[in-house]
Chain A
Amino acid sequence: MKIRNIIVMAAGASLALGSCKKSLLDTAADYKYVESTFWKTEAAVNAALTGCYAPLGYAGLFGGEATPLWEETASPNAYNYSNSMGFNFIAEGKQEPSSTGIIPGRYHDCYTGVGRCNSFLAHAGKVPIEAKTFDRMRGEVHFLRALYYFELENYYGGVPLILDPPDKDTQSDLPRTPREEVVAQVLKDLDSAAILLPFTYGKADIGRATKGAAMSLKARVLLFEASPLLNTAGSTDKWKAAAAAANAVIQMAPETHYDLFENYRALFLPANENNKEVIFDVQFIYPDLGTSFDLIGKQYNTNAPLLDLAEAYEMNSGLPITDPNSGYNKDKPYENRDPRLYATIVYPGDTFMGVKVTDSRFAITGYGMKKYTIYDTEKPPEALNDLKGGQSETNYIVLRYADILLMYAEAQNEAAGPDQTVLAAINKVRKRAGMPPLTGSYDQASLRKLIHLERRIEFAGEGMYYNDIRRWKTAEKDLNAKIYTYAGKSIETRSFDPARDYWWPIPQVQRDLNPNLEQMPGY
């Protein structure tokens, strides 16, 4: 009897399996959504918007361990002895399509951002959200997509311009779109963003793109377009457009409250994040979204400043050290210099973290980069004295007001010559740094030199100079040179092929996957 029961039960079980197999085979993950169930609520749309920002902190763009700081090492300002992210190969002219690091990384992370923005713009509209809020969200996404595409075209030239959500079947074999068309789309997105975005946010939304961010990025895009690398015809109109775009940001100051932050060194400290000078920055937060800025500055020294940079700082009198009247003392080379030197570089004889700096403290070049670390002359508190990988949370500033002032100065000088507004913009920056104003009479060319120097000094260590020497087309001179330690000892000889090295190659992997992608010349 019992046995019969067992058989009946087993037979019943098998029938049960047979009859409701459909439901038995349905399984779902409990840790991720699927597309069909996701786009339903405002919270989901908000999360998707956040997801559009996330690539900003990736290693290919402005985060990773210290990508933006290492970008400085592709310029004559600094040296990366361990070739982190492949930046030293770029400095040496050894980058290749199959290089690893930043070249495939930036390409990938930018397109990740582009894809998310495109998905957002295609799907978020289905969800009922208050129009005002949704407009702002769309504005943010247009800004981000412009930023990602700008980074792409800036390094790789023309790239496939895709504005629809990711679709393997229709997008995989698209060839490169002419760079000009990509730039046109970037400007279009930025104009849309500028209309949709607010001037400022409440405390909880600090870090989102603003109208000022959109207009500032536009100024940068136009400045690059006007520069010799891209403006091969030497069109003055392009410079005019760039100057106008920068000026538009300056004129907006009453609404945006943009101004220079008083303390140049403190501008880069976590305590002063999102101050009035910051137009757009990458928001890092410990422990979830951290970088290694402090570790590489304090210990790894993979963004070691070079002698050439240290010597570029003027005396605090405003004279270059090469001027016989400057009072520069070879035996005490770090006395009476531009205060920004002390805010940026640690040098032998300096005091750093409460300890006198020997020439072996930063053994690579003798110099350390203190900008973007939390460390300075004083001994840090115990809990902060040894931040390791991923433990830094200082925001990386993508756009700041000083940049707008110097963009304006540069573009206006090229467009109209050295007028008073040009000097005023430069001098505003110099004044904050504690440097005497430029008061002499300058012609366009001599002022151009000073503006270039001012940019180099003001933004030293921030990863801007590599793009400056590219767009000025001076890299073939600046990067075809030996580099030296503080003591004038040669480290290596760099090389730059003007026919090839102004642009990065399309990563080999991408050309393997999509043979329609044409390679940049020379690679």
Chain B
Amino acid sequence: MKFTIDRKTTSSRPALSAVGTKRALLLLCFSLMNFALFAQTDVSGKVQSAADGSPLSGATVHVQGGNQNSLTQNNGSFTIQASQGDSLLISMIGYLSQTVAVTGGSVGTVSLQEDANNLTNVVVVGYGTQKKVNLTGAITTVDMTEKEGQPITNASNALHGTPGLFVNLSNSQPGVDRSTIRIRGVGTLNNSDPLVLVDGVEYSLDELNPNDIATVTVLKDASAAIYGSRASNGVILVTTKTGSGKAKVNYNYYIGSQKPTYMPDAIWDPITYMKLKNQALRNEGKDAVDYSDEEIAEYEAGMKTDPFTYPSSNWFDIALKNGQMQKHDVSVSGGNDKSNYRLSLGVLDRDGIIIGPGNSEKKYSIGLNTSYHVTKRLTVGMTLDGYYRKYTTPFYTSFWSYLMRALPILTDTLKDGRYGNSWLRTPGRNNWENPRMIAYTGYGHKTVQRFVASAFAKYELPFGITYNAKYGIDKYDGLLEEFSPQVKTWNPKTDDFINWNSPATAPRSANTDYNNLNVHFYQTLDWVKTFNGDHHLSVMVGNSYDHFETKGFDATMIGYLDGTLTALDAGSERYDIGGRSTEDVLISYFGRVNYDYKGKYLLEGIIRSDGSGRFDNGRRWGQYPGLSAGWRIDKEGFFPWKNTFDLFKLRASYGKTGNQAVPLYSYENSIDLGQNYSFGDVLAPGAANTAYTDSTITWESTSNYNLGLDMELLNHRLNITAEIYKKRTTGILREVDIPDQVGGLKGPQQNIGVMDNKGFELSLGYNDHVGEFTYGFNGSFSYNKNEVVDLEGQILYDFGTNLSTITMKGLPINSHYILDAIGIFQSDEEVANSPFQSNSTKAGYIKYRDVNNDGIINADDRVIIKSSSEIPKYTYGFGINMGYKGFTLTADFQGVGGIKVYPEGNLTFPFNNGAGATWEWAKDAWTPENPNARLPIVTTSTGGQDNFKDSDFWLRDGSYLRMKNIQLAYQLPKKWMDRIKITGMSVYVNAENYLTFSKYKDFDPETALNVNSLYHYPMLKTLSAGARITF
């Protein structure tokens, strides 16, 4: 991963200009030698900016065809050894290079034009762009071209390692692979997803072809205030690629293979499984065990002759395969002073790691980006980003939970291919979920067409005023088609069958239609003016209207003759039908003023006013101001290290942002339909209030304070950015649980309190070369501390899953609140002499601390673990890159620290309601002979509840460091390419997620965050290779 600042010194800087100090000294020696040979003379000159005539320091002056280089001084002047008739190439980051001929002792003043297309120089901010050097906010830019060649299936997965961003890939399943993105911690107890805008229009990051993205800008502090009420979680601005220069065609291709990073170490040996299960039952006090000695003996003997009746099924081997993926991207782009264009097509074809047809994905993307100068004053254009994508799921989508329940004694298939079950009666397994059957039964096909199309116009009015307008439509059409035939599993011994699904409801067909339309409009007036040459002022005012609409309906039919026809019309009996729509509106007025004096003192002011339909009349409008300032200390006369620092900028900002992310219609007491009952054997429609509402809810608002320092040193080779921030969120919106005695109602959404996120971020990059060997390093580190400051005396518990988290004043949100395990009982006497836990406690069980010393272990003995269950304290990332003669090697690492995970359920806990167990339970569980085992005595987790209460025994360290990606690329020599008329071609190999360091080994540590079971698509490691051709 690289950031803009790095990129300056790598890709946008002309190759020869990236000259290090050492190199310059060497060259100086060479030039002295050359002087002797060719009678060169000193040539002087001055370089300035064409825009404002300010001197440019650090520009590279190079004698074409020779080795001489020089850099301009602070006043823009330079001197270089050159012969008459030589050409000097003058280049600088962010400016178009220029060539001048040497016709005397001086070439005079050279004015460099700013490179408008240079994205590293200009940063996209809300409703406009800004020069990077003039930024006063905490803004990070990710250059997606750096990630070309990585097998990124979803744009959100590409943001790993951005300072201040916590990116957690929560799902790897084809079609629904998504990352959760958190910017600077969790600022709310509600929806914490940042606002994403694509080319200024709100859109989903997940619906974009990663290859069409040029840059991603993250607004982390007051700079986000321009997006007011939806900016509290930060704002992500995506800019798509545009065309420029002469027409070129780009073609990218990669092919890859995928497999899981981690799978639990499950027991697949049937005899070990049966014996351990019996042992577990005996240990918890059951007299009856599941498998008799005779059955086990029979099994052991049978395994030798009849693997169908006596299988030892390794279900991870049976039900998983290597995934395949390939992607083609073609783009045509170009542009001139009249117009520019870029057209792209992408095709992703992916087949997941589950056997069967249920996890493949095809994505077809189209991207169009054009603009046209109609007149001198008017520019119009349009952008279109669209996907047509299809993905499949098994009809029974809980495949992973079934797989984590699979047992070694479960027969895969009988000899003739019918799905097997087991002849062994196993409590909890009445209807054997054969994973092969689940993977192959029926289908779920989801087809999505989603596009965002926007048209814009820019008109230059008199007096330096520019009018901008953009109208965007985001259309989502989805159709989910599902069908399940009637299927059975067969007893391998008796040939009896069990219906998996009832003949009364299968075959069954269901369709769900999603039909969403979001309309966005905004217009702005920009005014830029320079006074007295030194005072630069720019003003922007505007307003916007956003309308969100969802519509959907679904229908299910049964009564199919067989499994041949699957359309709804082929069924004979209506089974279930539903439909609804929702609407959401946001209206905003906003403005921004930027002022700078000589590019030295920078000021920015923002104001936004938002009206939201999510709140009651009178509480709909909120105001969001933002103020920030920057100081280019390096431009001050007294700055002592002018030769060392190319940039030394101090920034400070304050701003208010909001969050309106409460469910729609949360402010009105609603009466829900569907509370039905039957009278006279006819369904009667019923209605009731099911959730409590608080009509006084309003915006959640966040005050952002940020202090930042940007430094560039050693002729731009080293850059450092440091930020320190505090975000105070007041009026946190959250659903508050209320006691059941208040009508058994779901709690209301309320503004409940105040929370702080404090932290710092540090990032640095260094790039240099020695001869033809180039190298670079970048790293970032973020620390965030979350603390609830005030909850008006309330204490909130998370009752979603269990009793394990608490939110109260002075703690990070959702801190673990669990029993304190203090060891394992070594004897029944110790149990008898300890506080009462339950009537099943005995030697080998987990011992809990009686916190309140009342002689009984219960919920009153819970202790607070002062660590958030949601957000790591530390996130960090670093990358290295090396290049030599067309070869480049890059590696990116990411890590998180200070987070605990709490997985539960099948294969974390043993024999959970008929599931299996991991080897650790066979090897390292307490027995009188193994008193120092890690695990307590083996019981079933369903029956031995004492050991599986929420306690810190099961709280695991979720920290990890992962090599996210390593890539080796080779750029084929230009002379070869010239012969076949190709501008450029490179080939590369790539490995993703191949190296992970973590204490948590049961499953992938990255997936284990924020979930409490292992029932999901595992994290994948990908090996891929590809090529990129330009012609």
Contacts and interface: CB of A to CB of B under 8 A. Distances in A.
20 contacts: A3-B375, A44-B687, A46-B684, A47-B687, A50-B684, A51-B687, A82-B913, A112-B740, A114-B743, A171-B739, A204-B679, A285-B683, A287-B505, A289-B683, A300-B430, A364-B427, A391-B505, A511-B859, A512-B859, A514-B741
Contact of A54 (B580, B681, B688): B688
Contacts, number: 292
Interface in B517-555: 521, 523, 543, 545
Interface in B260-278: none
Contacts of B668: 34-36
A452 interface: no
Nearest to B522: A14
A210 interface: no
A27 B547 CA distance: 11
Most chain B beta-carbon contacts within 10 A, residue among A18, A27, A285: A27
A53 B501 CA distance: 30
Contacts of B505: 287, 388, 391
Contacts of B499: 386, 388
Interface stretch (A243-251, A404-412, A462-470, A483-491): A483-491
Contact of B678 (A32, A284, A382): A284
B378 interface: yes
Interface in A72-107: 81-83, 89, 92-94, 96-98, 100, 107
Interface string A487-523: 0011111010100000000011111111001000001
Given A83-B942, A93-B839, A207-B678, A17 B742 contact: no
B740 A285 contact: no
Interface in A195-238: 203-208
Interface of B: 285-288, 375, 377-378, 425, 427-428, 430-431, 457, 459, 467, 469, 498-499, 501-505, 521, 523, 543, 545, 575-576, 580-585, 587, 611-613, 617, 620, 664-665, 668-673, 675-689, 692, 737-745, 748, 795, 797, 799, 802-803, 838-840, 858-859, 913-914, 942-943, 945, 949
B458 to A, nearest CB: 11
A38 B748 contact: no
A471 to B, nearest CB: 23
A12 B355 CA distance: 58
A92 B669 CA distance: 43
Interface in A143-179: 159-160, 162, 165-168, 171-172, 174
Contacts of A32: 665, 670-673
Given A107-B740, A165-B743, A89 B677 contact: no
A401 B469 CA distance: 77
Contacts of A165: 743
A289 B677 contact: yes
Contact of A492 (B287, B580, B679, B799): B287
Given A82-B942, A388-B501, A47 B743 contact: no
B797 A509 contact: yes
B673 A47 contact: yes
Given A7-B459, A31-B580, A167 B742 contact: yes
Contacts of B611: 21, 25
A338 interface: no
Nearest to B588: A17
Contacts of B678: 207, 283-285, 288-289
Interface in A384-401: 384-388, 391
Contacts of A108: 740, 744
Given A33-B671, A514-B741, 20 more contacts: A7-B459, A24-B587, A27-B613, A35-B671, A38-B687, A47-B685, A50-B687, A96-B858, A107-B740, A112-B745, A118-B743, A166-B692, A166-B743, A172-B741, A172-B742, A174-B741, A288-B683, A299-B431, A493-B287, A513-B738
Contacts of B467: 7, 10
Nearest to A176: B741
Nearest to B685: A47
Contacts of A7: 459, 467
Contacts of B797: 509, 512-513
A475 to B, nearest CB: 15
Most chain B beta-carbon contacts within 10 A, residue among A10, A299, A490: A10
B679 A283 contact: yes
Contact of A30 (B580, B684, B740, B745): B580
Given A17-B543, A93-B839, A115-B742, A204 B682 contact: yes
Contacts of A118: 743
A361 to B, nearest CB: 10
Contact of A119 (B523, B741, B743, B949): B743
Contacts of A497: 839
Given A35-B670, A50-B685, A284-B678, A495 B839 contact: yes
A7 B461 CA distance: 10
B670 A208 contact: no
Given A27-B583, A204-B680, A364-B427, A33 B523 contact: no
Nearest to A490: B287
Most chain A beta-carbon contacts within 10 A, residue among B582, B689, B742, B914: B742
A500 B868 CA distance: 36
B744 A115 contact: yes
A386 B497 CA distance: 12
Contacts of A167: 742
A325 interface: no
Most chain B beta-carbon contacts within 10 A, residue among A29, A56, A174: A29
Contact of A27 (B585, B744, B748): B585
B676 A50 contact: yes
Contacts of A46: 684
Interface of A: 3, 6-7, 10, 13-14, 17-18, 21-22, 24-36, 38, 44, 46-57, 81-83, 89, 92-94, 96-98, 100, 107-116, 118-119, 159-160, 162, 165-168, 171-172, 174, 203-208, 273, 283-285, 287-289, 299-301, 360, 363-364, 382-388, 391, 482, 485, 489-493, 495, 497, 507-514, 517, 523
Nearest to A389: B502
A160 B741 contact: yes
Contacts of A511: 859
A118 B840 CA distance: 42
B288 A489 contact: yes
Nearest to A388: B502
A50 B677 contact: yes
Given A33-B687, A57-B677, A108-B744, A513 B427 contact: no
B686 A383 contact: no
B504 A384 contact: yes
A17 B587 contact: yes
A166 B689 contact: yes
Contacts of B799: 509
A482 B502 CA distance: 36
A386 B498 CA distance: 9
A166 B740 contact: no
Given A27-B664, A203-B680, A491-B286, A162 B378 contact: no
Given A48-B687, A388-B501, A168 B692 contact: yes
B823 to A, nearest CB: 21
A-B interface, 8 closest residue pairs, ranked by CB to CB distance from nearest: A115-B743, A112-B744, A166-B743, A50-B686, A51-B688, A388-B502, A31-B580, A490-B287
Contacts of B795: 512
Most chain B beta-carbon contacts within 10 A, residue among A21, A48, A52, A512: A512
A206 B680 contact: yes
B679 A523 contact: no
B838 to A, nearest CB: 6
B681 A285 contact: yes
A53 B431 CA distance: 33
Contacts of A36: 668-669
Contacts of A97: 858-859
Contacts of A510: 739-741
A123 to B, nearest CB: 10
Nearest to B281: A492
